[in-house]
Amino acid sequence: MLTANILTTMGTQRLIFTDLDGSLLDHNTYSHKPAVSLLETLNQVGIPVILTSSKTLAEIVPLREMISNSHPFIVENGAGIYVPMNYFSYLPSSWRENEGFMLYSKSPSREVILEIIDTCRQQFKMEYQTFYHLFEREGSDGISRVTGLLAHQSESANKREFSETIIWLSTDSRKQEFIQTLNSKGLSVEQGGRFLSVTGHASKGRALKYLTNIFKQQHHINLCDTLAIGDAANDKSMLEIADSALIIRSRHHVPPKLKRTDGVSISKEIGPKGWVSGVTSWLQNF
């Protein structure tokens, strides 16, 4: 039985940063059912679960409501950090109000990112497709076809502010050339469970570090004990930087390889079942 005294020990705030698809949510059904009880417990004892995803604001808001989550969250692979109004007593002037939340982002807009991606069209003709152009041609049906999402969910997935999602249609070697080309143009490219995510040098790891520092400042503490949870390559930056890393096994790809070896665990189970067993093990180490 967990009690509230695990929240802070010797001035340490505990935080969980979790990926969604393939981690907290099932890769195919997007269900979080196995984690319901543990999420309730974490909420009761005051350990924030910070959703950290390639998903958009429009996608994450209903998910937060579904799992009764009232904490900050990270969108579009770290390109934007959202904090509920009045969650913190003070935020720097670099934050701004957006859609009823406070937002921090240093990433260029989706429009700017698309302009840069389009400069690669001749070099990589017919080898990739952006969500933007897929939605433009086929509407939500096109995105539903490649994601398995319902129509209204596909519309939300296309409401990107600081990134673009790319469906890769060619070989792995050409994909690496494509990534290097975009890197040379000032963009960051991350491989998710299904698609490529393109941002302006944002990452989940940078967002984790920045938001952790905000928690320290707000609570006047020196330490935060952070757990990062993910299943794919676009989670590596936060898995590398957190105090503890939990890699969730996937039926669809091998676990991401990390440079670190200490503080790393790999779940035995898939998706949210692995999430529950891994987080439970982390809690038991307190």
Report the CATH number that the domain containing residue 56 is assigned in CATH. Answer: 3.40.50.1000
As a whole number of angstroms, the longest Cα–Cα distance in the chain is 59
What pTM was estimated for this model as a whole? 0.91
Instruction: Report residues of the chain scoring pLDDT below 50.
Output: 1-8
Count Cα atoms within 13 angstroms, Cβ side, for 116: 22
Report yes or no: 12 and 221 within 8 Å, Cβ to Cβ: yes
Helix (H) or strand (E) segment spanning residue 247: strand 244-249
Q: Angle of helix 131-138 relative to helix 140-147, nearest 10 degrees?
A: 120
Q: If you count them, how many residues does the chain have?
A: 286
Q: CB–CB of 234/77 below 8 Å? A: yes
Is 4 contained in some domain? Answer: no
The pLDDT assigned to 94 comes to: 95
pLDDT (tens digit, 9 = 90+) per residue, 240-284? 999 999 999 998 889 999 999 999 999 999 999 999 999 999 999
Within a domain: residue 54? yes
Show the domain range for 150. Answer: 110-199
**Same domain membership, residue 223 and residue 279:** yes
Domain boundary among 199, 223, 245: 199
Residues pairing with 249 in the sheet = 270
Determine the 3-state secondary structure of 218 from DSSP: helix
pLDDT of residue 284: 92
Residues 35 and 79 in one domain: yes
- Does residue 138 fall inside a structural domain? yes
How many whole angstroms separate alpha carbon 63 and alpha carbon 20?
Answer: 10
